[in-house]
Amino acid sequence: MNNLNKPRGTQDIYPPCSLLYQNVQKIISKLLQLNNFQPVIFPTFESTELFTNSLGSTTDIIHKEMFVFPDRKGRSLALRPEGTASVARLVCENKLIQEGYPLKFYYWANFFRYERPQKGRYREFWQLGVELINAQGIFADYQLLKLVADIFYDLGIKNFIFSLNYLGNSETKENYKGELKKFIKAKDIDLCEKCQERYQNNPLRILDCSVCKKKTSFPSYKKAWNKKDREHVNKLDKLLKKFNLPYNYDYNLVRGLDYYTGLVFEISLGKDKALLGGGRYDKLYQEIGNIDVPALGFAIGIERLVNYLEISGLSSKLLADFNRVDVFFFLSVSEFYPEVLEWEEKLKNYSLTTDYNLETRKLKNLSKIINNYQPRLLIILGEKELKTKKILVKDCLKKKDFFVEKKELIKWIIKKISKW
Ligand code: HAM
């Protein structure tokens, strides 16, 4: 099997972990629907240019992390490294913008970055991305942060806190870059090799360098804010406080992609890498479609989220709530199949999960069957049940046995369930 193993940095996801992925998706999708967000689906690969033109030529993604390949006609294509640029392309290409109306989109998608694989960092990973497009002002910022908070609360995560920073428009950004360069020069900070390069072409990224961060505390971004920036931050603060959203400002927070303007945010839990990141990107649509469209969004790394749910013990509740077979029919004689197929159909009308063994088996190890299927009710159908009118129903949760009339079975199950 050696040559056929999965490629480095990719993962196989199977039960019970795949069930956790599915349940997380169910819970979040419900919340997105309640908040009037709609799904979009875009290609797994796009023309390489889409990303090189929009993510920032000096970012790690463009520099060294994209999976790029030529098609048969020599056109350069790239596996999507993130979703915001693809959504912007989708919106522009399909002319979806209507003046005065926001677009509220989300996507569940796998992304590809050629990174050094380690825990929480893969070459193929999943994100839930949310984009609020053609949306300006304080309530758009608030709506997105509130959605994130509700997602975390609904998953049972209570101990999170937003890290926020406000990058302002290009003028504020340039101001800060100037301040930062002046500071580095005046203090004669011994930048690492990579940051010496960044000093010339993308100084903001120096703030995110794990090596240089330790050498000094860089100037606060707050210093670069103008009156408008300060007003925006003050208004947002008031809303976040009024609705009890937990946040802190990190005046050195920058993100790994260059398209951000205005508010940026992340959430990390414990010492782990950021679980989620996002912010406002008011210039991206100009780069991609030559139109001015203010927008903002975020993406949650699903592997990191699921890993947190597992290590914090929250996953067991999420799994227990969803993944039981309600009724399992165990047949050790084939005569019962026609009846079981009819019963199954009836129970499905009550949204019950049912299953049965596809080939008859001798009932040898009951606890193995119960462990494997985790049924609420196990119905045993063997030689004995052929001869009598009653059949054995085991309530596996309450560990009780019942003998139920065959013709009353469905009625009995429905009555039983109404008490669960
Ligand atoms: P990002 O910070 O590059 O932002 O990624 C968002 C999240 O995806 C990260 O916080 C992390 O949880 C997860 N992630 C990123 N790279 C990896 C990896 N190699 N392995 C596992 N998980 C990973 C974006 O992608 C932006 N498009 C977010 C956004 C949407 N901004 C505005 N709208």
Read off the pLDDT of residues 289-348 as tens digits, 9 standing for 90 and up.
999 999 999 999 999 999 999 999 999 888 876 667 999 999 999 999 999 999 999 999
Q: Does the C-beta of 48 come closer than 6 Å to ligand 1?
A: no
Interval 160-189 mean pLDDT: 93
For residue 56, report the distance from its CA to the centre of ligand 1, in Å: 15
Q: For residue 82, report the distance from its CA to the centre of ligand 1, in Å.
A: 7
Q: What is the pLDDT of residues 192-251, one digit of tens each?
A: 988 998 898 889 989 988 889 888 899 999 999 999 999 999 999 999 999 999 999 999
Q: Look at the block and give the residue holding tokens 């699903």.
A: 302
pLDDT of residue 323: 66
Is the dihedral angle over the CA atoms 53, 265, 22, 151 positive or is it negative? Answer: negative
List all residues 6 or more positions away from 306 whose beta carbon is below 8 Å from its beta carbon. Answer: 17, 20, 21, 24, 315
3-class DSSP assignment, residue 252: coil
Ligand 1 neighbourhood includes 87 CB (under 6 angstroms)? no
The H or E element that residue 193 is part of is helix 193-201
Ligand 1 centroid to Cα of residue 81, in Å, is 9
The residue whose C-alpha atom lies closest to atom 11 belonging to ligand 1 is 301
282 Cβ inside 6 Å of ligand 1: no
Give the 3-state secondary structure of residue 118. strand
Probe ligand 1: pick from 66, 79, 82, max atoms within 8 Å of CB?
Answer: 82
CATH class of 324-418: alpha beta
pLDDT higher at 62 or 248 = 248
The atom of ligand 1 lying closest to the CA of 61 is 3
Note if the pTM is more than 0.95: no
Is 256's C-beta closer than 6 angstroms to any atom of ligand 1? yes
Ligand 1 neighbour 277 (Cβ under 6 A) = yes
Q: Residue 123 CA: which ligand 1 atom is closest?
A: 19
Cα–Cα distance measured from residue 144 to residue 71, given in angstroms and rounded to the nearest whole number: 38
Please give the CATH number for the structural domain made up of 2-168+225-316. 3.30.930.10
How far, rounded to the nearest angstrom, does the alpha carbon of residue 361 sit from its chain's CA centroid? 42
Q: Residue 419: is its pLDDT beyond 90? A: no
Rounded to an integer, what distance in angstroms lies between the CA atom of residue 132 and that of residue 278? 11
How is the chain split into domains, by residue range?
2-168+225-316, 324-418
Judged by DSSP in three states, 321 sits in: helix
Record the tokens describing residue 195, joined without a space.
């940051």
Residue with tokens 């309640």: 34
CB-based contacts of 62, cutoff 8 Å, min separation 6: 51, 52, 55, 56
Q: Whose CA is nearest to atom 17 of ligand 1?
A: 121
What is the C-alpha separation between 261 and 284, in angstroms, rounded? 9
